[in-house]
Amino acid sequence: MSHLYETDGAAIYRQSFATIRSEANLSRFNPIEERVVCRMIHAAGFVPLADSVHFSPDFATTARAALHAGAPILCDVRMVSEGITRKRLPANNAIICTLQDERVPALAAQIHNTRSAAAIALWEEHLPGAIVAIGNAPTALFHLLNLLQDPSFPRPAAIIGCPVGFVGAAESKQALWETAPVPCMVVEGRLGGSAMTVAAINALACDIE
């Protein structure tokens, strides 16, 4: 017996987002935030995610403007950097992930931290006005927040803080939310991950759902 299923990709997309909007509580979001949250829910297949996503008041407009101005996107892992849809980017934005840089292992040993945290040290020249997209490593987010305590350290335009996991993920996002050194968004608690982070970038980059 043959299985019957929807085969039109565009129809699948339309139905998916219609379902998300009919089931999720999106009333507290502005139009840009709503688009971001819908894409994140779509990536996770988890409608209750909407209750865990939080934006600082100026995040959406700041991040969107930075992308349109050509800001680079700094990613903690290649799952994030490879997942971003290049054709959605408004200004052929550079996508940078330094985790595989040959200098990282020595830096990690030097600072007694993870490779993910050490890779942040190689962002400094790219940071001014950049979009930071952290979707995996709590240590990367914590280390960045510590660096940003120095007023002279370069400031990104905005930070997407969505590290996932059971050790440090919730705490690192809480620290970002409480200190908010720049406009930011977080997925509170243990939830997060590269797919959600990529979805947020893709939504901010382009109006087309």
Provide the CA 37 distance to its chain's centre, in angstroms: 11
* Residue where the block lists tokens 């960045």: 144
Question: Percentage of residues in the chain with pLDDT exceeding 90?
Answer: 93
| Per-residue pLDDT band at 208 (split at 50, 70, 90) | confident
User: Is 187 part of a structural domain of the chain?
Assistant: yes
User: Is 71 part of a structural domain of the chain?
Assistant: yes
Quote the number of domains for the chain.
Answer: 1
Domain with residue 18: its CATH number is 3.40.50.10230
Residues 197-208 have a mean pLDDT of 94
Residues 180-205 have a mean pLDDT of 97
User: Is 99 part of a structural domain of the chain?
Assistant: yes
If you count DSSP H runs as helices and E runs as strands, how many of each does the chain have, helices first?
9, 6
| Cα–Cα distance measured from residue 111 to residue 78, given in angstroms and rounded to the nearest whole number | 22
- Of the candidates 136, 106, 100, 140, which has an alpha carbon nearest to the alpha carbon of residue 120? 140
User: Is 18 part of a structural domain of the chain?
Assistant: yes
Helix, strand, coil in percent for the chain, rounding step 5: 50, 10, 40
Question: Percentage of residues in the chain with pLDDT exceeding 70?
Answer: 100
Q: What is the pLDDT of residues 112-147, one digit of tens each?
A: 999 999 999 899 999 999 999 999 999 999 999 999
Would you say 163 and 197 are in contact if contact means Cβ atoms under 8 Å apart?
Answer: no
Residues 23-40 have a mean pLDDT of 96
User: Is 196 part of a structural domain of the chain?
Assistant: yes
User: Is 2 part of a structural domain of the chain?
Assistant: no
pLDDT of residue 70: 97
Strand partners, 96: 74
Would you say 136 and 167 are in contact if contact means Cβ atoms under 8 Å apart?
Answer: no
pLDDT of residue 179: 96
Model confidence at 209: pLDDT above 80: no
Output the average pLDDT for the chain.
95
Query: By residue range, what is the domain housing residue 88?
Result: 9-205
Residues annotated catalytic, as ranges: 42
Q: What is the pLDDT of residues 16-27, one digit of tens each?
A: 999 999 999 999
Model confidence at 8: pLDDT above 90: no
Q: What is the pLDDT of residues 82-115, one digit of tens each?
A: 999 999 999 999 999 999 999 999 999 999 999 9
The length of the chain, given as a count of residues: 209
User: Is 95 part of a structural domain of the chain?
Assistant: yes
β-pairing verdict for 184-187 and 53-55: antiparallel
User: Is 136 part of a structural domain of the chain?
Assistant: yes
- Of the candidates 184, 123, 128, which has an alpha carbon nearest to the alpha carbon of residue 158? 184
Q: For 80, list phi and psi in degrees, rounded to 5.
A: -80, -50
